[in-house]
Amino acid sequence: MNKDEFLEELKKINVKLTKLQLEQLDKYYNLLLEWNKKINLTRITEEKEVYLKHFYDSITLIKAINLNQNLNICDIGTGAGFPGIVLKIVFSNLNITLVDALNKRIEFLKLVINELKLKNIEAIHDRAENFIRNNRNKYDLITCRAVSKLNIISELCIPGLKINGYFIPMKANIDDEIKNIEFLDKLNSKLERIISFKLPIENSIRNLVVIKKIKDINIMYPRSYDKIIKKPLK
């Protein structure tokens, strides 16, 4: 999608960008390209594709929750900053914590935060299971895009939510993963709805899985990564 198409599609979901926000996205794109030559950040590099599959796609979280309010958000496995950096640029009121296990990506994100002069955002090098164990009941919203299967990421992320907070993973295909969601009971959470739509232009499927944490969770979760993988919640 070219920039006109980007703005046009955003209008349809009630998102308007200022000149500053557009400049910040542009700068982010250039930094992404430059650093992608040195470290592996993304396989998508063509400008039109980045605006569609990274920038627009990240903003679609607005279809699930009002992001024009003061929310404490955590983006787990943010990689090169998707959706977290884009959300911070577009919804500047948000307070965002980005977490990734790969330090090179976190170093890149710190540089982006600095260059774009973003406030109320931090990038943390840690594994999700460790980070969340040390940050229980803290976030209004936790999201993640393209990190792992629903049962795995639910265990990693939901303990970090406040009660009544939302976990909203952004996923492509989910048919297999939502056949059996009993594991959410163990995490005292419930599936509220799934918002499915197609990305404009290329028409691939996207899903926002809206999960609400109802009660506090047994302190044993999240388990160590070994255990999560060996004995995934069912």
Interface with ligand SAH (CB under 6 A): 77-79, 82, 99-102, 105, 127-129, 145-147, 225
CB of 61 to ligand SAH, least distance (A): 12
Residue closer to ligand SAH, measured from CB, 18 or 103: 103
Q: Distance between CA atoms of 27 and 59, rounded to whole angstroms? A: 17
C-beta of residue 25 within 8 angstroms of C-beta of residue 88:
no
Residue closer to ligand SAH, measured from CB, 13 or 146: 146
Helix axes 103-115, 19-36, angle to 10 degrees: 150
Hey, what are 132's tokens? Answer: 């969340």
The number of helices, as runs of H, and strands, as runs of E, in the chain is 10, 7
CB of 228 to ligand SAH, least distance (A): 9
Dihedrals φ, ψ of 154, to 5°? -60, -45
Residue closer to ligand SAH, measured from CB, 65 or 85: 85
Residue closer to ligand SAH, measured from CB, 146 or 163: 146
CB of 19 to ligand SAH, least distance (A): 26
H-only helix segments in the chain: 3-12, 19-36, 47-49, 57-59, 84-90, 103-115, 128-133, 150-157, 183-186, 225-230
Residue closer to ligand SAH, measured from CB, 175 or 226: 226
Indicate left, alpha or beta for 116 from its phi (over 0: left) and psi (-120 to 50: alpha).
Answer: alpha
| Structure letter (DSSP) for residue 215 | S
CB of 146 to ligand SAH, least distance (A): 4
CB of 117 to ligand SAH, least distance (A): 23
